[in-house]
Structure 1
Amino acid sequence: MKNLAFLFFLAFGVTFANNTNPTTQNEVKVGDELVINKQNPDKFNHVDFPRLNFIVKRGGLANYNSVDGHVVLVKNVETNANGETKVTLESKNGKKFFGFLNSVDADYNKALNAGELSVIK
């Protein structure tokens, strides 16, 4: 009887362990809203903003303060074979980034972990 109860609890536990998938809990969809967070050393590693000298050449200011707290929408989601999720971000209010970029790309999971992006709930 003990063996039967143990087998029942083991099968019950394995069933629920298979249903909880941590990768599906953080999936991003087209239309999700994210916030770009300010970075202390003025460098974004996982959001593909242009370098500061390129921004100056295009007539912008040489800092990333204009994107601090900026709300963006996910317009495209691509997952490659390595499991990395690349997203294309566009401004929610329709303005261009730094006055000349319509959209930027980002590595979703790495940017979330680094604090460069955060999810609006």
Structure 2
Amino acid sequence: MKRVFLVVLFVFIYIGSNAQEAERNTEIEVGDILKIGPAEASKYKYIYFPRPNFIIKRGGIVNYKKVVGSKVIVTSLKEKRDGTLQIEIKKVNGGKFFNSHGKVTADAQNALKSGELSRL
């Protein structure tokens, strides 16, 4: 009786873990439109904008206030080895971030939790 109980328990755990993994991967898809929110500190933690010296070298102006409220579209998804979902985003209107970079990457789950990105 114990063996049957343990087998049933492991089957439910296995099914539950696969369901959570499938749910996590279907949260964001290519083509989803998101909105950039304000950063908690002076810099964004989960949206990986280039460092200010690279922005300036390419002729851009480092102003994080202009980024807030921008609508972005997800162009690619990549699951990293540690299980985090990394997305590549670009502006919907075709503009560049800081007038220098067309695409940037972001950690999807953490950016959504912290409010740096939000769904439309």
TM-score w.r.t. the length of structure 2 is 0.74
Q: Which amino acid aligns with 2:88?
A: T
Q: What is the deviation of 1:40?
A: 4.4
Q: Which runs of 5+ in 1 are unaligned?
A: 1-13
Equivalent residues in 2 for 1:48-59, closer than 5 Å: 48-59=48-59
What's the CA shift string for 1:31-65, capped at 9, x where partnerless?
00111101242210111112334434444433201
Distance 2:67 2:55 in 1: 13
**Aligned residue for 1:8?**
none
Judge which range, 54-63 or 44-53, deviates more. 54-63
Q: Which runs of 5+ in 2 are unaligned?
A: 1-11
TM-score w.r.t. the length of structure 1 is 0.74
Q: Does 1:65 align with 2:75?
A: no
Number of aligned positions between the proteins: 108
Distance 2:110 2:39 in 1: 14
3-state SS of paired residue (2:45) = coil
Do the aligned partners of residues 82 and 65 (structure 1) sit closer, same or farther apart at CA in structure 2, a change above 3 Å counting? Answer: same
Q: Which has the larger radius of gyration?
A: 1
**Aligned residue for 1:34?**
34
Do the aligned partners of residues 80 and 19 (structure 1) sit closer, same or farther apart at CA in structure 2, a change above 3 Å counting? Answer: closer
**Aligned residue for 1:7?**
none
| Aligned-residue CA RMSD (Å) | 2.6
Q: What is the deviation of 1:82?
A: 2.0
Distance 2:88 2:17 in 1: 30
Identity %: 36
CA contact (8 A) 1:96 1:102 kept: yes
